[in-house]
Structure 1
Amino acid sequence: MEKRMVLESLDVSQNKKQLLAVVRVLEMDRKRIAQGLHDDIGSKLNVISLNCHLLKIPNLPQKEIEEITKNIIEYTSKALGSSKKMTYSLLPPVLEKFGLHAGIEELCTDLIDNKIVDIQYVNNIKFDFNDNDRHIHVFRILQELLNNSIQHGKATSISIFFNEIGGENICSYSDNGIGFDLNQLESHEGLGMKNVTSRVAILEGNFTIESQMNKGISVVFNF
């Protein structure tokens, strides 16, 4: 009886951990969306609104009307672009239609084509399309790691490898960036590692990270 009670307690503890991870990820996503709406799309719509009000001024010279109209068209186009980008960040169409492998390929190709970073991506797993709801977390983990490597690590080269080992799907990620002191990981809020660990917890996987100053970063997680 005691053994059974301990096992039940462990199950409750694990479920609670996963629930907290889900809540944390949802809150982070909501914060990211809110910031994008306010800082990006909201600011552009304010410019559009201001220019529309300027058109109401009586007896405006034709040259000023043309300039204001040009501004409205320009910022409307930018707002639409930001909206599309945000929609993509919420649920990439390629990922939804063709699965995780295609989603990662497109993500890497965009960064390579824009000459942002060089990426070596190798996948030796046939992802089950029926697991796409779970795979969105794998995709988000890679997005977060790539952003960290580029924005914070100043990396110029990144490697992403997927392999199946002992019946488990393993992702190995590394970069050649500036790295950081693991003892100060908690203070690096911009690194977004809490988001990564939360999503790994949702996937019921394990997560390890290795890094040293000026020696890049290495991350391994299973799902």
Structure 2
Amino acid sequence: MDKLFLEEDGVITIVIFGVILLLVMGLTLILFFYLSRKKLLQKELEKKTLELNHQKEMLKATIVAQEAERNRIAQDLHDDISAKLNVVSLSANFLIEEESVTPKETEEIINHILRVTNKTIESSRKIAHNLLPPILEKFGLGAALEELCDEFSKSKKVNVISIIEYEAERLSKDDELHVFRIIQELMNNSMRHGKAKEIALNFKSEIENLSLSYRDDGLGFDTSTIGIQKGLGLRNIESRVSLLKGEITYKSEKLKGVEVEITL
């Protein structure tokens, strides 16, 4: 009988030990999954925070770029259009108020008014063209980029070699304007800051995306310090690429030009 009790006690002990072991293992698994989940959530939160900070930076860059554009337009209107219209106004008032003006002087003043008026019209067209190139609105991105490259080449300051294979209406009008401004800003940077003599542009429509390859033979820059020396132009480009949900990479060295790859 004692032997039977001892055997039962042994079985009970084993069962209890097994249950305790299972509980410990269960608690360990729960704790492991809890900590793993917590770690994943923390990483996800960090990722979301980085994305949010990036979006804030891009939004800030966009706002700064827009404000700079508004200031430039306001300056153009004040310095160019307003100044010319003021000359027209003064000349017209002089003709009205001055009684001793000779017919010859009248003719000269009228011709002067006409010349200044024509220059004012031309200036207003340039400002309107900078806001929204008419060819982009009428004929689309491909034609607008060809005209842009042609304008830069005709300046005789830089030679532009371009391959533009864009499928019409692949992008919305707003997105086409973003792409146009990106390439325009790249070319302006090449001339103003890079002192480039040659620019090569390759813009293609592919099955799943759009690819833009750009390079110049200008002064270049140290890519390791791009975050430090990034100016408004580069921030403006990056903000537009971000709005298009694209990716951009730079490759450059001092005195060896710049290469830019953009995928949209």
What corresponds to 1:192 in structure 2?
233
Pairing 1:48–2:69 present: no
What corresponds to 1:137 in structure 2?
178
Note the C-alpha offset of 1:109.
2.0
What corresponds to 1:118 in structure 2?
159
With 5-14 and 93-102 compared, the bigger mean Cα shift is at: 5-14
What corresponds to 1:76 in structure 2?
117
Matched residues in 1 for 2:78 and 2:234: separation? 24
Q: Alpha-carbon deviations, 1:96-150, whole Å to 9, x = none? A: 2222111101111233345343211113442534522112111001111212222
Q: Which has the larger radius of gyration?
A: 2
TM-score normalised by length of structure 1: 0.82
TM-score normalised by length of structure 2: 0.71
- Retained in 1: the 8 A contact 2:142–2:165? no
Q: 1:187 to 1:53 in 2, by over 3 A?
A: farther
- Retained in 2: the 8 A contact 1:17–1:201? no
Matched residues in 2 for 1:62 and 1:184: separation? 64
Note the C-alpha offset of 1:160.
0.6
- Percent of pairs identical after alignment? 40
Of 75, 99, 111, 1:35 maps to: 75
- Retained in 2: the 8 A contact 1:170–1:222? yes
- Say which SS state the counterpart of residue 128 (structure 1) adopts: coil
Opposite residue 31 of structure 1, the aligned amino acid is: N
Q: 1:120 to 1:71 in 2, by over 3 A?
A: same
Opposite residue 181 of structure 2, the aligned amino acid is: R
Once superposed, what is the RMSD of the aligned Cα atoms? Answer: 2.9
Q: 1:67 to 1:213 in 2, by over 3 A?
A: farther
Runs of 4+ in 1 over 4 A off after TM superposition: 1-5, 7-15, 184-189
Flag structure 1 segments of 5+ consecutive residues without an equivalent. none
Opposite residue 63 of structure 2, the aligned amino acid is: V
What corresponds to 1:169 in structure 2?
210
Matched residues in 2 for 1:11 and 1:195: separation? 18
Of 183, 198, 201, 2:242 maps to: 201
| Number of equivalenced pairs | 222
Flag structure 2 segments of 5+ consecutive residues without an equivalent. 1-36
Matched residues in 2 for 1:184 and 1:71: separation? 50
Of 103, 108, 128, 2:149 maps to: 108
Q: 1:43 to 1:149 in 2, by over 3 A?
A: farther
Opposite residue 259 of structure 2, the aligned amino acid is: S
Kindly indicate which of the two structures has a greater share of residues assigned to helix: 2
